[in-house]
Amino acid sequence: MGSMAPTNDHPGEQAAGDPVRLLEIRDTPLSVDEIFRAVGDDAAGGTALFVGTVRNHDGGQDVDALGYSCHPSAQEEMRRVAEKVVADFPVRALAAVHRVGDLQVGDIAVVVAVSCPHRAEAFAACRKLIDDLKHEVPIWKHQHFSDGTEEWVGAC
Per residue in 7-22, pLDDT (tens digit) is: 556 665 655 589 999 9
13 in a domain, yes or no? Answer: no
Tens of pLDDT, residues 38-65: 999 999 999 999 999 999 999 899 999 9
| Inside any domain, residue 112 | yes
Expressed as residue numbers, the domain containing 41 is: 20-154
- Domain presence at residue 28: yes
Whether residue 6 is contained in a domain is answered as no
The CATH number for 148's domain is 3.90.1170.40
Beta strands in the chain (DSSP E): 20-26, 46-53, 57-58, 61-70, 93-99, 101-104, 108-116, 139-145, 150-154
Domain count of the fold of the chain:
1
Q: According to the model, what pLDDT value does residue 28 have?
A: 98
- Tell me: pLDDT of 122 over 70: yes
Query: The whole model's pTM is what?
Result: 0.88
